[in-house]
Chain A
Amino acid sequence: MGTSSPGKAPEQVESVAIRFAGDSGDGMQLVGTQFTSTTALAGNDLATLPDFPAEIRAPAGSLAGVSGFQINFSSNPVFTAGDLLDVLVAMNPAALARNLKDLKEGGILIANSEAFNAKNLERAGYRENPLDTAVVSAYRLFKVDVTALTLASVRAFKLDHRAATRCKNFFALGLIYWLYSRSMDATVQWIERKFGDKVLGQANLAALRAGYNYGETTEMFDHAYEVRKAAITPGKYRNISGNEALALGLMAGSELSGLNLFLGSYPITPASDVLHMLSNMKALGVRTFQAEDEIAAVCACLGAAYAGALAATTTSGPGMALKAEAMGLAVMTELPMVVINVQRAGPSTGMPTKTEQADLMQAMFGRNGESPLPVLAARTPGDCFHAAIEAARIAVTYMTPVVLLTDGYLANGAEPWPVPNIDAMPRFPVSFRTDTEGFKPYLRDASLARPWAIPGTPGLEHRVGGLEKDNGTGNISYDGANHEAMCRLRAEKVARVADSLPPTVVEGAQEGDLLVLGWGSTYGSISGGIHKVAARNLKIGHVQLQHINPLPKDLEHIMKRFRRVMVPELNLGQLAMILRARFPETTIHSHTKIQGLPFRENDIAKAIIQLLETN
């Protein structure tokens, strides 16, 4: 397997972006993840992005029910899931209608012709079959009757019509495997593992092979393509999504701190996967609590923290709004806690399955009173692992709640990830206070953290609560001067986190024309955008902030080394607003997009050129 048709050698191409699109019941996500695994094994660099509807099962064939999965793979470094598509697989008219705009001119369009019937055309808003009109004239159209071919390939297994039809995603996958000269081995093994010797597994295998053979024998395509291995740094890799990385990162935080991990969460898109994964980790001592609501989740977290656990809660924007009061309590009681917000498009319920970075101000200031806490952001799916560890480190070192921001793009997107070795990572062991000598609940160490004295420790009995307290004793205090001192102290404690940060990494030029300053999931788009303008010989530097509160101490100095500073974000300019307030001397050029989608690399490239040419 894995060789192309006997007729012609495959054509070498550098990079390919494919999107599989179909009905949410068509199994496009499965096809996508299978293709991803196979591509990773083939040694390409890659990035993926699923795109599924908010509706669990919107009416079949409807525009609302279209589910997509995009993969960008290359023999060069890959930064994002790709701007425009080289290949679109459309399983029905709705999938075509939703996705055709993203297909490159001259790109390959594979359409499941059988699904282009009167009923489906009407549901997708087509008056006539687009496959027969000028709508598709700019593309290389391949009509394949996937349904009929699938049914024929599985006839021997005597499945009912519905089950037989559902094998068509594997037929499509087989066809694409042939088209890109991919081995089917990994998927064959996966099917065998998943289905054992069940008849459905055998049918799926038959459909997969039929799709592959169809490509090979019909000569419908003139030739197959091949994307050679990328020059990837030697080492061990795995494919990882942001949510998987968060779950593992929290566990690593537990390991490195020596604390038991507790997760209190309430299901919410796109964060629930972290709860699912960690609830599967009881064997490693992880305790998860599916609370009755977002508030209970964070409050249970606070209780677990008081009792001596590494406590985390995961949510998305609307849940974050509900957690605010309890986060304020954690600030006041100075208890360590990791609050993870997997951001999605808002306000209110917004677009739950679409990505956005518009909860930054909420994380910074969304609580009553002066309520400072550290805010971090992860930049790639794999970075979610390291960011979770960093959030845990800061929380237990400084006795503070920490907000870690990721988003739907990172949560569900995936990348090949250099597997870290836990034993080689710096530990931050926690020692609970046991010494009764001179103990007060709000004593301060050099980092201004208070002691962590947990229930069960004789002689350290003390009460904490949300009322303002006297520094040191922790007794309730309504004294104005003490309140001011405490507010300043809590702010200073958070500010001192900056003392523990490594120097900020500037990628590309270290000084010159432009610093592109991003945060969070825009890392790939910005890197790709800068890469796209490389030929112009502009001196462009790139900083992707992991720490937004406090900001790194060297940031101002770095900004001063560049003629311009541009801040791209998926909101209406929230980081830009913070930077303008903090560094009024620096001109910040804000570049924003708020469409529920990541930046395209081209968006960034264009913005760079525009800024440098008009200024």
Chain B
Amino acid sequence: MPTQSAYPVVEHTDPAGQTKQDFTSDQDVRWCPGCGDYSILAQVQKLMPTLGIPKENFVFVSGIGCSSRFPYYMNTYGIHSIHGRAPAVATGIKAVRPDLSVWLVTGDGDGLSIGGNHLLHVLRRNVDVKILLFNNQIYGLTKGQYSPTSPLGKKAKSTPLGSVDYPLDPVSVALGAGATFVARTVDTNVKHIEATLKRAAAHKGSAFVEIYQNCPIFNDAAFDFLTDKSQKEDNELVLEHGKPLRFGPNGGRGIALDGSLTPRIVDVTTEGEDKLLRHDETNEMVSLVVSRLKHPAFPVPVGVFRAVDRPSYDVMMNEQVEAASQGNKKSLQQLIDAGSWTVA
């Protein structure tokens, strides 16, 4: 039976010489003017040559939606698959080719509505893929219906009187599924995107990054509370491992937990820093509590919620194959012959 020799032996590109241009495809980018996706694309194209991976070893997988056009713009291997199913496609790639760097681009509709099931399972299995979920809280490509992350009461094309279903929080969903790396960043904050994606890329196992992304056509200004200069300071809570949760002008406010695990906002100058909850990416309880901080009652956390090491599905699967093959004494012909008798 074939093994690694089933794939062509090639001379890989030297990653040291790669530039952003190498990752830019010749396709016209067709997102609407002002779309947040442009900024994310630029940051991803900028990050790729810094990872020390030959560009032919990248695969970008997507489903359907505005965000899922992404692979066409990356000069790498890629599959623009079907709605919601990118996690499953990526799992298949990784299962047979653990040597590849697989990136998955999805949206709030693609990833959490039609693809919610697959997203849960790719995270549960800890398949070594990097998942970028562009959350614009709306369906863009189908022209403006509310999405599973739209706030209750959202008036959109299919909810003229306001939606009556409660939204999902992607970060909480990912944590609930047992994801080993969960982060959130924002399309306009290019430095933060860069730092977050760098960490996601370095993570071994599933890395889930929610990116708040503005849709200027169907849901403009949805994240102004985080991106607008006058509001940002009061609403952004930047997570740093081991540091107390502080936000606001000069970090004057912070998050504390009372005895019943209920978060509250405290004034750091009067109550002191010791009262504050310290962020811990390796403590699941802390990650879960922090993920429940929601606008407008609380500031919105951005950064890495959780980062822990756990063997990934593809590595364990291939280790099993490896270990079983080493002790194998049976050929395929012997299996075919099993239990046979001869008629003379």
Contacts and interface: CB of A to CB of B under 8 A. Distances in A.
Interface of A: 37, 40-41, 43, 232-239, 248, 251-252, 254-255, 258-262, 264, 281-287, 289, 291-293, 295-297, 299-309, 311, 325-326, 328-329, 333, 419-423, 432, 434, 454-467, 475-476
B95 A262 contact: yes
Contacts of B327: 283
Nearest to A459: B56
B333 interface: yes
Chain B, interface size category, equals: 35 or more
Interface string B111-126: 0000001101100000
Residue from A40, A296, A308, A311 having most chain B Cβ neighbours under 10 A:
A296
A181 B242 CA distance: 80
Interface stretch (B6-14, B141-149, B270-278): B6-14
14 contacts: A234-B343, A238-B340, A282-B320, A282-B324, A283-B324, A289-B91, A295-B85, A308-B6, A419-B340, A434-B8, A455-B58, A458-B11, A463-B78, A475-B27
B338 A235 contact: no
A333 B79 contact: yes
Given A303-B95, A463-B79, 12 more contacts: A233-B343, A237-B341, A238-B338, A261-B1, A262-B95, A285-B2, A304-B96, A305-B92, A329-B82, A432-B7, A458-B11, A461-B77
Q: Is the interface of A mostly helix, strand, loop or mixed?
A: mixed
Given A252-B332, A283-B328, A284-B1, A329 B81 contact: yes
Contacts of B117: 292-293, 296
Nearest to A248: B336
Interface in B313-333: 317-318, 320-321, 324-325, 327-328, 330, 332-333
B54 interface: yes
Contacts of A454: 7-8
Identify the 10 closest CB pairs spanning chains A and B, nearest first: A303-B92, A465-B80, A300-B92, A299-B88, A283-B328, A296-B88, A282-B324, A303-B89, A238-B340, A463-B78
A464 to B, nearest CB: 6
Interface stretch (B68-76, B132-140, B166-174): B68-76
B79 A326 contact: no
B1 A286 contact: yes
Interface string B90-131: 111111110110000000000000000110110000000000
Contacts of A255: 1-2, 332
B328 A260 contact: no
Contacts of A292: 88, 117-118, 120-121
A527 to B, nearest CB: 20
Residue from B27, B95, B99, B332 having most chain A Cβ neighbours under 10 A:
B95
B88 A295 contact: yes
B261 interface: no
A419 B254 CA distance: 74
Contact of B72 (A291, A305, A328, A476): A476
Given A308-B96, A419-B337, A458 B332 contact: no
A43 B343 contact: yes
B325 A282 contact: yes
A233 B344 CA distance: 8
A427 to B, nearest CB: 12
A302 B332 contact: no
B144 to A, nearest CB: 21
Residue from B64, B93, B317, B338 having most chain A Cβ neighbours under 10 A:
B93
